[in-house]
Amino acid sequence: MLALVQRVSRAKVTVENAVIGEIGRGFLVLVCAEQGDTQAEADKLLAKLLKLRIFNDANGKMNLAIQNLDGAGTVGGLLIVSQFTLAAETTGGNRPSFTNAAAPARGRELFDYFVAQARAAHPIVQTGRFATEMAVELVNDGPVTIPMRVAPQPSDPH
């Protein structure tokens, strides 16, 4: 699975002029399931995301995770948005290919699973809407933008 994590001061998703997801300080997480991904990759990605230490501590060093933004227990929000274009392959020309992305039904299944697991593990989770035209607004804090990838593990042939 792929994710693009942006540390934000605030972010929101709008569909047909209605805000469907909004957070204050936290992470805007664009997520893409690739072919071969399973729930195991979703679990690993979420675990890494929740432990990602990119918020500043009292000394201004990126040392705090989203679950402890200020070192005193303040929790940030997660705004999770499906984004199949993260799987774009651009080496073959000027028009990206998205063949590495999971099929839509599998992508939705893994996105929904990822969101459910995030909601079970974190108190503030908002989302976009799968396979929908969305307007995503954010104020990137820093700016800090981190690409993440958790690849499927090869099968054991034995």
Tens digit of each residue's pLDDT (9 = 90 or more) over 142-151: 999 999 999 8
* pTM for the predicted model, two decimal places: 0.94
- What's the pLDDT score for residue 74? 85
User: Which residues, including other chains, have CB under 8 Å from residue 106's CB and lie 6 or more apart?
Assistant: 33, 37
Q: Tell me which residue of 126, 148, 122 sits closest to 137, measured CA to CA.
A: 126
- What's the pLDDT score for residue 152? 80
Q: With contact defined as beta carbons under 8 Å apart, do 50 and 76 qualify?
A: no
Q: Are strands 26-32 and 2-15 parallel, antiparallel or unpaired?
A: antiparallel
Query: For residue range 13-60, what is the model confidence (pLDDT) as tens digits?
Result: 999 999 999 999 999 999 999 999 999 999 999 999 999 999 999 999
Query: For residue range 50-66, what is the model confidence (pLDDT) as tens digits?
Result: 999 999 999 999 999 99
- What's the pLDDT score for residue 73? 80
Using the 8-state DSSP alphabet, how is residue 109 labeled? H
Domains and their CATH numbers in the chain:
2-149 (3.50.80.10)
Instruction: Tell me which residues are annotated as active site.
Output: 83-85
CA 11, 48, 40: angle at the middle one, nearest 5? 110
130 or 153, higher pLDDT: 130
Cis peptide bond prior to 104, omega within 30° of 0: no
Q: Residue range 64-70: average pLDDT?
A: 89
Helix ranges (H only) for the chain are 39-51, 104-121
Q: Residue range 78-107: average pLDDT?
A: 96
Query: Band of the pLDDT at 70, cuts 50, 70, 90?
Result: confident
Q: Tell me which residue of 115, 93, 111, 113 sits closest to 102, measured CA to CA.
A: 111
